[in-house]
Chain A
Amino acid sequence: MSANENKEIQVKEKKEVTSPAEQTRPGLVFTPDVDIFETNTALTLLADMPGVLPEDLTIDLRDNVLTVTGAVKPFEGPGETDLLVEYEVGTYYRQFSLSEIIDQNKIDAELKDGVLRLSLPKVEKATPRKIQVQAG
């Protein structure tokens, strides 16, 4: 049970991304709404991405930057004409910089009813990586 189930949902306009870099592919890009919370062992991210299929979702974590991209295929059939347009459809894109060290091997992602649930377990103890220097 959620805490505020009796409240009415307010309509929100989808936020279009104004990215500093220009997009290579044409089309609209939106910022998904997210919930992020952490416990002692993991960081969890929930993102609303309606219309995204698992195969069109990309999750990338490198240099402590988490990138979530979800492409949406247009679902209008041929021969359909618009009568009313209240929302636009496009790719979802959002980046987060993480301050915690995440155990990359244990990342788990689940996409259900248009909601992505991403759990990012923290590394038990940040193990320093050994770097070997070759004498040249």
Chain B
Amino acid sequence: MLIRRSFGFPNRGWPDTLNELERMRRQMDDIFKGFSKEGHMRQGSGVFPSINLTEDKDHFYLRAELPGVTSEDLEMEAIGKNITISGTRRIALEKEGAKYHRRERESGKFSRVISLPNEVNTENITAALKDGILTVCLPKAEKAKPRQITIN
């Protein structure tokens, strides 16, 4: 009796307290599940640029935000499942006498390799850089495509 009172649960026994904890744990799980549903499942790689990868039946699509990068300053290489994106982001120096209030944009070199989940047809990869977004269309290799199986 004395223990119960000192823990502040005068009318509850231990089993109830454990149930309460279990309920709270489940609520926390639901909250975190909710986050990922909202699209907050960012998995940072720590390497520039950030990449989004999607797929449909026949292709993988790789996208990256590269504002201010021109196609001359961008290089891509495909070896097996690995795609390497490297380049330089240049920010032109402004004329003398410019006084900066803010400088948040970064320039410099970058290089990143990304492994695709499956084989691609490296001969037919197409890439476009438009409005600061790189879109790479990677056709899946024949053996990596899903096959319809007819059931007799």
Instruction: Give chain A's interface residues, CB within 8 Å of chain B.
Output: 1-13, 28, 33-40, 44, 46, 48-53, 75-77, 79-88, 111, 113-115
> How distant is the Cα of A80 from the Cα of B94 in the complex, in angstroms?
42
Of B52, B68, B108, B135, which is within 8 A of A7 by CB? Answer: B108
Of A36, A39, A51, which is within 8 A of B131 by CB? Answer: A51
- In the assembled complex, 15 residue pairs joining A and B whose CB atoms fall closer than 8 Å, in A order, are A2-B107, A7-B108, A8-B109, A11-B48, A36-B100, A37-B99, A39-B99, A48-B67, A50-B65, A53-B131, A79-B57, A81-B54, A86-B52, A114-B133, A115-B132
- B103 near A35 with CB under 8 A, answer yes
- B92 near A115 with CB under 8 A, answer no
- B131 near A50 with CB under 8 A, answer yes
> B150 in the interface, Cβ–Cβ < 8 Å?
no
Stretch at the interface among B2-10, B18-26, B35-43, B119-127: B35-43
> How distant is the Cα of A77 from the Cα of B137 in the complex, in angstroms?
12
- A50 near B104 with CB under 8 A, answer no
> How distant is the Cα of A46 from the Cα of B90 in the complex, in angstroms?
13
Write out the residue numbers on chain B whose beta carbons fall within 8 Å of the beta carbon of A7: 107-109
Of B41, B47, B56, B93, which is within 8 A of A80 by CB? Answer: B56
- B100 near A85 with CB under 8 A, answer no
- B53 near A84 with CB under 8 A, answer yes
Residues of B86-130 at the interface with A, using a CB-CB cut-off of 8 Å, are 88-95, 97-110, 117, 129
Write out the residue numbers on chain B whose beta carbons fall within 8 Å of the beta carbon of A83: 53-55, 60, 117
> How distant is the Cα of A113 from the Cα of B70 in the complex, in angstroms?
7
> B83 in the interface, Cβ–Cβ < 8 Å?
no
Q: What's the minimum C-beta distance from B103 to chain A, rounded to whole angstroms?
A: 5
> How distant is the Cα of A83 from the Cα of B117 in the complex, in angstroms?
9
> How distant is the Cα of A11 from the Cα of B110 in the complex, in angstroms?
10
9 further A-B pairs in the complex, CB-CB below 8 A; given A5-B109, A8-B48 = A1-B93, A5-B88, A33-B104, A77-B61, A80-B54, A85-B43, A86-B43, A113-B68, A114-B65
